[in-house]
Structure 1
């Protein structure tokens, strides 16, 4: 992702050697994203090359990070394809680089599918449900740090940068989400560890096979439905350079929901609140992109995402989510 901390080759080499990952031969910064410093690191051990990802955390603290790293290690142990943090001789998986928290994980094979088909969406829906079921046994707990309390804190910060119609939309939607969160149906939603950022660029495929979910550093305990809605809002939306941008793709959405339900059927409360969570997912990413766009941090290779896309997604969800979700659930139940 963006490079905020320049890591010297020698420092990285020493860390990888301490983790028994071999001799470092190549270190290159990763472009894209905006949260942490990431490097691809190639090592050689016993004559064989291995690929790793070194992450230096810029916002998350030493106190917050054990949740994310141990969740990844737990899920990997449950057979969910996620990067597994490397431990030192004492079993520690949280390390330090230039006084900042850091981790090293194995690099997943394959590439991201930025133009997904229904088959890709089925694979993601299936694995997301399996991850949710597996995660129920994870004993650590930490709230989704980009959840409703963060929305309430951050909306006033971005409001001065918005036009009149944008400000009206974000105020109205925030009030709606607070209303939803106060209801009994919301309280009844099944919960557990969620990825909360499972966009197309956080999933790997190799020759059509889903090889893993990665970048768990927005994970937290939240509703499984919110996690599914975040996926639907990226995998099953048109990403276009015209007025179609942000519109719903029904075929891909039906495929994802049907695959998810075949593993973990949605509860009555989840069916009731799917429209609200589609809106919540759109609000969360519109808000975070507004924040990053208007209040950026200095970083080498930094490219903040244009927030306009998720403004369009939210407007579409507000207009159409109720009808869309009813149709999707009915058809997905038949398909499942």
Structure 2
């Protein structure tokens, strides 16, 4: 959530007024993340202070964005605590700021928990299962734009920036994931809209409960198992120190038990979970390499360490068959 686009106060004020959110009193850029420009916006309406988040989309097109925004609207309407996009008098939730597509959503209550306990992991696991089930009747469809096709396109682009050992690991894992994706077990996995980026800093807690989940702009239709794996790779691993990237089995168990309390995993999901954990690690290692070596200019930008997810991937390797195994053997 770096600031790539400087938004004039007057333009933001006009948008807030048009959305019937009151009179803008403060506009503050948000540091952190790397994809879009984000601002906290504070306004006064009917004598009360109201807070929202203004997002200016830097990469996503106006054709792609309705999927994300309407998914958030759908989830919010069905009781999932997500930011709800604000609509104008015509019911439009996609707007324009500085000539770019933009949206204004509720600012969630609470705070992120960067050192989660088993209770935090369980709360997120249960919420993710609810999110998956609620999303089943969402009618819009859009693929996970950072899925396997993007990995295949992006690996050759980042290879010149890494050493031989990293390149060998990247090529080997990509080959493995291409084989997995061809297996009948993988093709039969349950699918639907997924968050695809539900890291610790994309959830909020208040009084020990999940008060909100946000940043849906990597969402897409994919396997629910991949969404689970992404969460396990962030919520349930060690961060920092000599054991960075190593799994925390107690946290994993808490997350999975709570998830299955809402939606039990299928036998195929259980078998392919190690492979999807590797897939999740590959996806974020690759995107962080991309963002580090091919950055965009931003007024506020905090790059993430690609090495963390390289270590997560290496920690997952013993839990899945070798890349040279046949697809059906890997699914067995």
Q: Same fold (TM over 0.5)?
A: yes
Which position in structure 2 is the counterpart of 1:97? 97
How many residues align? The count is 321
**CA 176–193 in structure 1, closer or farther in 2 if over 3 Å, else same:** same
Q: How far off its partner does 1:219 sit? A: 0.1
1:194-235, Cα deviation, whole Å (9 max, x unpaired): 000000000000121210110000000000000000000000
Whether contact under 8 Å (1:278, 1:321) holds in the other structure is no
Whether contact under 8 Å (1:69, 1:93) holds in the other structure is yes
Which position in structure 2 is the counterpart of 1:326? none
Looking at structure 2, the residues matched to 13 and 118 of structure 1 have their Cα atoms a distance apart, in angstroms, of 42
Looking at structure 2, the residues matched to 14 and 321 of structure 1 have their Cα atoms a distance apart, in angstroms, of 54
Looking at structure 2, the residues matched to 57 and 176 of structure 1 have their Cα atoms a distance apart, in angstroms, of 33
Which position in structure 1 is the counterpart of 2:77? 77
Looking at structure 2, the residues matched to 79 and 257 of structure 1 have their Cα atoms a distance apart, in angstroms, of 22
Looking at structure 2, the residues matched to 56 and 301 of structure 1 have their Cα atoms a distance apart, in angstroms, of 14
Whether contact under 8 Å (1:33, 1:303) holds in the other structure is yes
Which position in structure 1 is the counterpart of 2:318? 319
Q: How far off its partner does 1:268 sit? A: 1.3
Equivalences for residues 261-276 of structure 1 within 5 A: 261-276=260-275
Which position in structure 1 is the counterpart of 2:55? 55
Secondary structure at 1:315 match in 2: helix
Gaps of 5+ in 2: 322-332
1:83-140, Cα deviation, whole Å (9 max, x unpaired): 0000000000000001100000000001100000000000000000000000001000
State the TM-score, normalized to the length of structure 1: 0.95
Equivalences for residues 41-190 of structure 1 within 5 A: 41-190=41-190
For the aligned residues, what is the CA RMSD? 0.7
Looking at structure 1, the residues matched to 89 and 122 of structure 2 have their Cα atoms a distance apart, in angstroms, of 40
Gaps of 5+ in 1: 323-336
Which position in structure 1 is the counterpart of 2:330? none
Secondary structure at 2:137 match in 1: coil
Q: How far off its partner does 1:301 sit? A: 1.1
Q: How far off its partner does 1:321 sit? A: 5.3
Looking at structure 1, the residues matched to 301 and 318 of structure 2 have their Cα atoms a distance apart, in angstroms, of 34
Q: How far off its partner does 1:29 sit? A: 0.1
Which position in structure 2 is the counterpart of 1:251? 250
Looking at structure 1, the residues matched to 163 and 64 of structure 2 have their Cα atoms a distance apart, in angstroms, of 35
Secondary structure at 1:266 match in 2: coil
Equivalences for residues 175-254 of structure 1 within 5 A: 175-240=175-240, 242-254=241-253
Which position in structure 1 is the counterpart of 2:306? 307
Looking at structure 2, the residues matched to 24 and 206 of structure 1 have their Cα atoms a distance apart, in angstroms, of 26
Looking at structure 2, the residues matched to 138 and 238 of structure 1 have their Cα atoms a distance apart, in angstroms, of 35
